[in-house]
Amino acid sequence: MSSPQSTEEIAEQPVLLEHPAEGVALVRFNRPKVRNALNLVVRKELARIFSELSADDSVRAIILTGSDAVFCAGADLREYADATTIEIFQRDASNLWRAIADCPKPVISAVNGFALGGGCELAMQTDIIVAGEGARFGQPEVKVGLIPGAGATQRLTRAVGKYKAMQMLLLGDFISAAEALAAGLVSKVVPDSEVASEALKMAVALAALPPIGLRQIKELALASMNNSLDAGLQLERKAFQITFSSQDKSEGIKAFLEKRQPEFKGC
């Protein structure tokens, strides 16, 4: 059994991994002095952690969060100031996000404060976004002579539509949590003090559901963004049929008929 980490040891870790409930993992940014800005170390650590969580059968839902004051204020511009095209190409930082975007398990972003630039793009690669009333979302890259580089021109437009996305991308405007909810960028807005508890409540509920079903739903929903309706419906029919070989299907129906809580095993 490992000994508890000291405050100094925790402070030196840019990303923290916690397990607040059975079946739930919580990944937390830990760079408060720079508002949880993303540097290459953070990106690599996120990729490593999410790759491990994706392969861990004991984990059924994941929460990604920052602090009570800020989710993530974007890229650490100190790494960009003197960087050349070749250096950015060789870092291949955007490819590190694939461990998050391709995670087969439900991922919830719990957002307090700013989710800007890469922070907003990171939240958009998760499946559910819970935002505090004081949260702010934005893609301000154009204001420093850059453009989004981790998916915002594609994901934001799909999430909120052309005109709201163009406002955020071209002007670098921030939007409030209420505006983000109305535009379809976030799933739910709660008081700032309730973001963590609401995300955990959702994650616990997800962890109690059948993992195979959740994985198939996530795959189908994400595929719908790139497939025609006919192709998507065909994929859905096949996935629906596959669930009839699942023990969780039998357990779920039996539990419903017997008026008890099901115990899903992920098989």
What are the structure tokens assigned to 41, written together?
């170390």
At 14, give phi and psi (nearest 5°).
-75, -20
- Contact by Cβ (8 Å): 60, 110: no
Distance in angstroms (rounded) separating the CA atoms of residues 195 and 189: 8
| Three-class secondary structure of residue 16 per DSSP | strand
Q: Which are the catalytic amino acids?
A: 75, 118, 121, 141
Q: Which domains does the chain have, with CATH numbers?
A: 7-207 (3.90.226.10), 211-257 (1.10.12)
User: In this predicted model, what pLDDT tens digit does every residue of 239-258 receive, in sequence order?
Assistant: 888 888 888 888 878 888 88
Instruction: Return per-residue pLDDT of the chain as tens, 267 residues.
Output: 445 555 555 567 899 999 999 999 999 999 989 999 888 899 999 999 999 999 999 999 999 999 999 999 987 777 777 777 887 777 777 778 889 999 999 999 999 999 999 999 999 999 999 999 999 999 999 998 888 888 899 999 999 999 999 999 999 999 999 999 999 999 999 999 999 999 999 999 999 999 999 999 999 988 888 888 888 888 888 888 888 888 888 887 888 888 888 888 877
| Three-class secondary structure of residue 204 per DSSP | helix
Which residues, in sequence order, are bridge partners of residue 130?
Answer: 110, 188
Distance in angstroms (rounded) separating the CA atoms of residues 113 and 147: 22
Which residues, in sequence order, are bridge partners of residue 25?
Answer: 62
User: In this predicted model, what pLDDT tens digit does every residue of 202-222 receive, in sequence order?
Assistant: 999 999 999 999 999 999 988
